[in-house]
Structure 1
Amino acid sequence: MAVKKAALTVIKSDAAISGKHRTSAQNLTQVPNYPKKLVIYQLAASPFWWVRYYADGKILRRSTKETDKRRAFAFAKDFYDEVNYRQRQGYVLNSRAGFEQCANAVIEQQDAKVQRKEMSEMMQQNDKYRLHKEVLPYFREYDLKNIDYFVIEGFINKLGKDKLTPPTISNYVGLVRKILSYAQRKGFIQAVPQIPKVKKVDAPRGWFTPRQYYQLWKCAGALVGETWEVRKWTNAKGEEESFVCERQTEKPKRATALSKKIAASKLMRRVQMTADLYNLIVFMKNSFIRPTDIKWMQHKHVEAIRGEHTYLRLSLPTSKKHDKPIVTMEKAVAVYERQRAMYYSEDKKENQAKPDDYVFLPEYSKKDKRGNALTSLQRQFGVVLSKTGLETGARGEERTLYSLRHTCIMYRLLYGDGVDLLTLARNARTSPEMIDRFYASHLEGEMNIGLLQSKRNKMKKPTD
């Protein structure tokens, strides 16, 4: 249970306390050999002694958590020393000098790092999201001094119950560590508490075999222009689950199993299927890019190269500290041109693609709306996965839009002729280690049986 409003809580006067908690002159006890402003007292609603001290024009109070008067005196003396130390250091004395204040200060510091190009804007946005989504709601009411190993462990357990993956939990804990480190540097706590380790278990996303990939883009093409609904219902076991169905514009003439299921369900969202997704599926399978690259990719980042080899050179914004251009497979060129032709007529000057126009779903033209563009594509892809029954892989691994990047890399590992791991990793803006852990982990010996059974040609004996 969180410790409510820790630190040095400020009250205007005893009269500000409700009648249930009001103190009186009869039960105020001065701490011996200390200033008269330092007293302990009891409240009708609490079994513990409380300490009160007047400093900087404020009345500061805190529960001693002690029922013994002698130990309450000892606590009051420590409280007095703490208040004076904070005054000497110029620290604020009220509860604002707590976890939330330190968290906001960390975010401000990181904003400055983004300006200096020492930190990516994406990492900063992720930290802001984590802070307001889970971190502040859990830690806001804790006294910084009361945050220890077990409090953080409780936070980790809470995230686990919310079904977050170990890598995601580790990111949340990393943000908590940053905030506590800042609190230590400011002198709010003496040391950063020991933090539980979150064991990271690699969970590679699923990829698509050629047959499954064919199913995906064929289905995506067939659904263009349709509106599908994501609905939630309670199954026979009493468990909530979601399903997708085509939007019902008319009431069916006769009841069917599906119509009964729809009637008993609740609408979560409607999803408009677009040709952008159809093109995106092919583009990602041939370009090595991440879904977040799609969000920010503009026409100025794309250059078509035609020569001995035909490909796109993608000079995308920095992602995960990688800034080198990506070169695509030849098929990506035709897909890009098809996508551009959907929105622009290159033979008309007034309707040509501008460098700053976004490639996919360009109607989301404002920077702060590009997240909505990616969400729309992800939701459309979710409908296609549900419709084709490809939500999970053979081993139960989850499939998302990111799985198309995995598919692209897997196809190079399986079908590329002599592609070395370093070249592949650099072009995909990752490391050989990550390729091995998250992409090549799907490789099995049988997939490259020809290579395993191949033999070198016998070397000819040198002749004079």
Structure 2
Amino acid sequence: MDQEIVCLRQILKTALRHQWLNALPDLSEPYRKNGMISHRAWFSRDEYRRLYEASGRRARKPKSSRWRWWGEQLHDLIVFMSNTGLRPDEARRLQYCDVTKAFDESTQETILEIEVRGKRGYGPCKSTQNVVPVFERLKKRNKPKPDDFIFPKYHHEMFNRILEEEGLKLDREGRPRTLYSLRHTYICFRLTEGADINMLAKNCRTSVEMIEKYYAAHLKDVLDASAINVRNKKPPKKEVAEIRQGELETMRRTWRIG
């Protein structure tokens, strides 16, 4: 029904542009229900470890020597995306000249500073320290020019094959996992580690509302039990009895004065 209403609305808008209609009819529901929020498919810690180990085995021991480069590139792509939060199209457009290795004063770690080009235009991104050796490995393997693409080939077929072999293609809700799930994994991992949601949204070139709606809503580790389960401290019974006795004495004196 939703798809047909969208199609009908487009037809009516075309008629309105051609002045076949004087006004656009209202097709909205009088009482619209709140739909269920569909959370993004991601990898838990254990699932990501299985994926990491499986792609590492494929890189070290490929089924054929001609697939070695593909396996090594895919393994590095998995680590790269899960430690930067890049979208697949952003990783596809990334060139070596867009990446700079830098020492971060706030964390006292060596990270990558990335100029990202994607569907949201240009934006900065700072990686975790785990991806620095991966970037060095990519440069050593490919011996690139500054304007060469870091990941020039698509790896969807091999990635899906590894997911199917490891039983990771679908999450517990039946949602299929794709390369995009590595971005979702990065966001979820950073939230569970206590990252500031505003800084995380800027680093991922998205909004706080999107993160709260599609990511933080299903992470139990984001909830702080100490802030939720607050209890007022009750005074000992002896102190309570003394307080009540004092209140009674005050009331008696007030009645005598009156």
Note whether the superposition's TM-score is higher than 0.5. Answer: yes
Secondary structure of the residue aligned to 1:324 is: strand
Query: Does the residue aligned with 2:138 lie in a helix, a strand or coil?
Result: helix
Matches within 5 A, 1:137-286: 153=1, 156=3, 173=6, 180-195=12-27, 201-224=36-59, 225-226=62-63, 274-286=71-83
Taking structure 1 as reference, are residues 425 and 322 closer, same or farther at Cα in structure 2, changes over 3 Å only?
farther
Aligned twin of 1:452: 225
Q: Which amino acid aligns with 1:317?
A: R
**1:205–1:400 Cα contact (<8 Å) kept:** no
Tell me, which stretches of 5 or more residues in structure 1 are unaligned? 1-152, 158-169, 228-271, 345-352, 362-372, 457-464
- Name the residue aligned to 1:290: 87
Residue in structure 2 matched with residue 408 of structure 1 by the alignment: 186
Specify which structure has the higher proportion of helix. Answer: 2
Choose the corresponding residue for 2:146, options 355, 358, 363. 355
Give the equivalent residue in structure 2 for 1:301. Answer: 98
Q: Does 1:425 align with 2:197?
A: no
1:391 paired residue among 141, 160, 169: 169
Question: 1:323 aligns to what?
Answer: 122
Q: Separation in 2 of the partners of 1:328 and 1:218?
A: 21
Cα displacement (A) at 1:427: 0.9
**Is 1:314 matched up with 2:86?**
no
Q: Give the 3-state SS of the residue equivalent to 1:205 in structure 2.
A: coil
Partner in structure 2 of residue 335 of structure 1: 134
Q: What does the per-residue CA deviation read over 1:340-392, in whole Å, with 9 as the maximum and x for residues that have no partner?
A: 22211xxxxxxxx223211113xxxxxxxxxxx4xx32222111110110122
Unaligned runs of at least 5 residues, structure 2: 231-258
Contact 2:117-2:123 at 8 Å conserved across structures: no
Number of residues of Structure 1 aligned to a counterpart in Structure 2: 217
In structure 2, C-alpha distance between the alignment counterparts of 1:339 and 1:178, rounded to whole Å: 47
TM-aligned CA distance change 1:301 to 1:195, over 3 Å:
farther
Partner Cα distance (2:101, 2:10) in 1? 43
Percent identical residues: 32
Measured in 2, the distance between the counterparts of 1:293 and 1:326 equals: 11
CA RMSD of aligned residues (A): 3.1
Return the letter of the residue paired with 1:358.
F
Instruction: Indicate how the Cα distance of structure 1 residues 196 and 296 shifts in structure 2: closer, same or farther if over 3 A, else same.
Output: farther
Matches within 5 A, 1:12-51: none
Q: Which deviations, in whole Å up to 9, do the C-alpha atoms of 1:60-104 show, x marking residues without a partner?
A: xxxxxxxxxxxxxxxxxxxxxxxxxxxxxxxxxxxxxxxxxxxxx
- Rounded Cα–Cα distance in structure 2 between residues aligned with 1:431 and 1:187: 38
User: Residues 273 and 442 (structure 1 numbering): CA distance in 2 closer, same or farther, change over 3 Å?
Assistant: farther
The structure with more radius of gyration: 1
Partner Cα separation in structure 1 for residue 97 and residue 15 of structure 2: 43
SS of structure 1 residue aligned to 2:117: coil
Higher RCO by CA contacts (8 Å cutoff, separation 6 or greater): 2
Q: CA deviation at 1:279?
A: 0.5
Residues 1:380 and 2:227 are matched in the alignment: no
